[in-house]
């Protein structure tokens, strides 16, 4: 998955998706990506969240707050 300044590995994507369980905010996803070694974790979180919204796997609750669809 391409992000600004590079690409996410499958392991990094999985780390981001794991952070998207239940109710979460973008900061939680950014922290997970940072811990997984993503240099530009802000761009990575944005790309992952937009992708999951587009695929219908998560929904926006409020500005910056999301929830996994069940």
- 3-class DSSP state of 61: strand
Give the mean model confidence (pLDDT) for residues 54-70.
Answer: 93
Q: What share of the chain is helix, strand, coil (3-state, %, to 5)?
A: 50, 25, 30
- 3-class DSSP state of 30: helix
Bridge partners (DSSP) of residue 23 are: 67
Q: pLDDT of 9-58, one tens digit each?
A: 999 999 999 999 999 999 999 999 999 999 999 999 999 999 999 999 99
- 3-class DSSP state of 45: helix
Per-residue pLDDT at 4: 92
Per-residue pLDDT at 25: 96
Per-residue pLDDT at 70: 75
Per-residue pLDDT at 64: 87
| Ordered alpha helix ranges (H), 1-70 | 10-19, 26-35, 41-54
- Distance between CA atoms of residues 15 and 10, nearest Å: 9
């Amino acid at each position: 998955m391409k992000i600004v300044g590079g690409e996410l590995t499958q392991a990094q994507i999985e780390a981001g998706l794991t952070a998207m369980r239940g109710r979460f905010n973008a900061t939680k996803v950014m922290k997970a990506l940072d811990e997984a070694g993503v240099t530009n974790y802000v761009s990575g979180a944005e790309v992952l969240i937009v992708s999951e919204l587009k695929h219908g796997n998560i929904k926006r609750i409020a500005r910056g707050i999301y929830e996994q669809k069940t």
